[in-house]
Structure 1
Amino acid sequence: MFRFLHWYLLFLIPLLIYLFFKENSSRAIKFSSIKLIKDSGVKATIKHKIGRYTILLGVILLIIALARPQSGKEVNNIKKEGIDIVLALDLSGSMKSVDFDPSRLEVAKETIDKFIKGRKNDRLSLAVFSGTAYTKVPLTLDHNILREMLEKTSSEDVNKDGTAIGMGLSVGINRLKKSNAKSKIIILVTDGENNAGKVSPETAIQIASQIGIKVYTIGVGSDITKIPVGRDFFGQMRYQSYEGGLDEELLQKIGKQTGGEYFRAKDPQALINIFKKIDQLEKSKFDINNYLEYKELAFNFIKGGVILILFGIFLERYFYIKIP
């Protein structure tokens, strides 16, 4: 958007042009005939007027500068209410299951990565657990570091086997207990049942509820777990398969008692849809005030005007010979 703050000063421009040409006509030398001038070989030229026109243009630019030209752009004054989110990821051996291609863990990582990319205004943390748990990335707005660490995450990051769901929750709680965010979320992704750890899921549920932490639990995997166990004599991969292993009752309890929700992802697309749903359920709140911010353009006109006036004076007084 463009405007002149003192637009009424622009009316001086036509007045200036009128006075300029009126003065020039009154200063002209009158001849009864210009035949003698033409016969003498003198050609019509306006070179001697260039200086005056240049000065006129410079003065016009100064008048435009006085009118305060401004360019405006719309600015959004955003007040955001961020959300702190801990992503608690199960790294137990069963997450190597190939019922998801290439594995449950790799699909979970890819899905979480897409989720991170969509949460630009929130602080995120990555916690991992198996037989024990720890924070891999603390709460941060540097999502590039978070995504880089997530990509490098593997089942070897936790050297104690098992599934310590209570420990995974407690690590997330420790990350969020001092948070000043109005919304504090844990998204726990697992394919097993709690069978390890010093903190029980019930204790973690109680603490999370008291602090106001909402937990979304996601049960990953089909009804059949299929773990690669090595290659046979002919180089073919061998698998160990078994049914069950997911404690849905516990995951439902965690979600319900903390104000969150439990989801079941039996295939990769279901997991993607679950994260999309959580993304919609837990959106940052924004107060947006729109206003116009103007930038002053007068300086450029002043600079141009001064240059033209000085150049015009040079042409008028020194470059073109003027007969008095």
Structure 2
Amino acid sequence: MNWYLGNNWYLLLLLLLPLLGFIMFAYLKWKSKRKNIFAESRFQEQLFEKKSGFSKVLPVLYLIATFFLILSIVDVLSGSEEIQSKQKMNNVIFLLDVSNSMNAQDINPNRLDMAKNIMVQTMSKMKNDKVGIVVFAGEASSIMPLTTDYSAAETYIGGIETNVMKIQGTDFLNGMKVAAEKFKNVAKGSRKVVLLSDGEDNEGNEKAAIRLAKKEGISVVSVGIGTEEGAPIPEYVFGQLMGYKTDRNEQTVISKRQINALQNIAQETGGTYVDGNNLDNATSEIIDGLHKTSTSSESLVKSQNAIHYYQYFLAVSLFFFLFIFLVNPKREFNL
């Protein structure tokens, strides 16, 4: 039986002991008072049966029997116990680039959908890790807190589109700031970020993002999605393709994957760079990258198969009650 904090309130049942002791004391006092009313003390020896030595220890035996009875009840009610186990686990934030360039279709069906598929398949291979989701472009926002509910995370991922960010661009620093904020209650040894992007750092904040990640103890596994040949950036209005992004000279903009920033972020933070153009390979490499720097942590796990000892406490309690019943000749609370 484990007296952990969650079931300590059951021990309030032990307050029954002083209550029972008070009742016994009050009863003795009342009985003595009634004897004195009935007859003077000099006649009481002739009028009343002489107390046996057993009657003096009877209250103590009652209290002991009740004490073990309460212990057996507490053990039964506790039902479960918390077991401290040591296991490797991470807190992983998927930092997803949702800039318009992620709509480019040089990867089938497009970069964003590939990134989302990688996230879902990666989570399907996780066991104890907590996951959260941050999306970023020119700004950043958290769309899901850290949780082990992977099915809920998959639902969130399904609804992500590039239009969720009003300010476009690709600012790694803003994304890292939001991730760091989500990690504020997490030990530094288990802070992991999976950064999924085509690597176009429009804001030039790569080095600032690295400094922040190193300061906050964040290890980054970066995933580069897209090809070096690139593809035009589709422009949609209400889900309808209206054309492709052009520059000031009305020339179609070709977006290409740029891996330098992604490789630098991973290398400087002790993480790994992963080629995200192959779903199965990318997923396996992300899992390997996360486990490479995993730290063992102590955690309390509530077990429903707790070891109980109530039968022993109950046996002791019944022994004392049976002893009282057999030895007490009047079969009553004889004091």
TM range (shorter): 0.5 to 0.7
Residue equivalent to 1:157: 164
Per the alignment, residue 233 of structure 2 pairs with 227
Give the whole-Å Cα distance in 2 for the aligned partners of 1:267 and 1:239.
25
Match of 1:167 in 2: 174
More divergent stretch after superposition (102-111 vs 175-184):
175-184
Q: Which residue of 1 aligns with 2:93?
A: 86
Match among 265, 268, 274 for residue 254 of structure 1: 265
**Deviations 1:208-255, CA, capped at 9 Å, x for gaps:** 212221111111111212433479xxx999666655544422222211
Maintained 8 Å contact 1:127/1:168: yes
1:129 corresponds to which of 136, 160, 163:
136
Residues 293, 170 of structure 1: CA spacing in aligned structure 2 closer, same or farther, 3 A cutoff? closer
Letter in 1 for 2:193: I
The one of 131, 141, 144 aligned to 2:151: 144
- Rounded Cα–Cα distance in structure 1 between residues aligned with 2:84 and 2:138: 47
Correspondence 1:178 to 2:166: no
Identity rate of aligned residues, in percent?
Answer: 25
**What SS class does the counterpart of residue 216 from structure 1 fall into?**
strand
- Tell which deviates more after alignment, 126-135 or 162-171: 162-171
Give the equivalent residue in structure 2 for 1:211: 216
RMSD: 3.4
User: Partner amino acid for 1:120?
Assistant: K
Paired residues of 2:234 and 2:241 also in contact (CA < 8 A): no
How many residues of Structure 1 are paired with residues of Structure 2 in the alignment?
A: 214
Q: Please report how far the alpha carbon of residue 203 of structure 1 lies from its aligned counterpart in structure 2 after TM superposition.
A: 2.3
Aligned partners of 1:84 and 1:184 also within 8 Å: yes
State the alpha-carbon separation in 2 of the partners of residues 174 and 237 from structure 1.
38
Q: Aligned equivalents of 2:258 and 2:227: distance in 1?
A: 13
Q: Which has the larger radius of gyration?
A: 1
Q: Which residue of the other structure, out of 174, 184, 207, is the alignment partner of 1:202?
A: 207
1:72-127 CA deviation, whole Å, 9 max, x = no partner? xxxx9843242111100001111111122211111211111111122231111100
Query: C-alpha separation between the residues in 2 aligned to 1:168 and 1:136?
Result: 12
In the aligned structure 2, how far is the partner of 1:182 from the partner of 1:207? Answer: 15
- Is 1:169–1:188's contact at 8 Å kept on the other side of the alignment? no
In the alignment, structure 2 segments of 5+ residues that lack a partner are 1-82, 246-251, 299-304, 312-335
* Amino acid aligned to 2:159: K
Kindly tell me: are residues 280 and 81 of structure 1, through their superposed partners in 2, closer, same or farther at Cα, counting changes over 3 Å? closer
1:124, 1:140 within 8 Å by CA — same for their partners in 2? yes
Structure 1: gaps of 5 or more residues: 1-75, 299-324
Q: Is the 8 A contact 1:131 1:164 kept in 2?
A: yes
TM-score, normalised to structure 2's length? 0.55
Query: Scaled by the length of structure 1, what TM-score is found?
Result: 0.57
Contact 1:81/1:181 (CA < 8 Å) preserved in 2? Answer: no
Task: Specify which of 264, 268, 278 is matched with residue 275 of structure 2.
Answer: 264
Larger fraction in strand: 1
Please give the alpha-carbon distance, in whole angstroms, between the structure 2 residues aligned to 1:140 and 1:266.
27
Letter in 1 for 2:268: Q
What do the CA deviations read for 1:172-208 (whole angstroms, capped 9, x no partner)? 12211331363211111111322249xx332221122
Q: Secondary structure at the match of 2:233?
A: strand
Q: In 2, are the aligned partners of 1:219 and 1:263 still within 8 Å (CA)?
A: yes
CA distance in 2, matches of 1:293, 1:270: 42
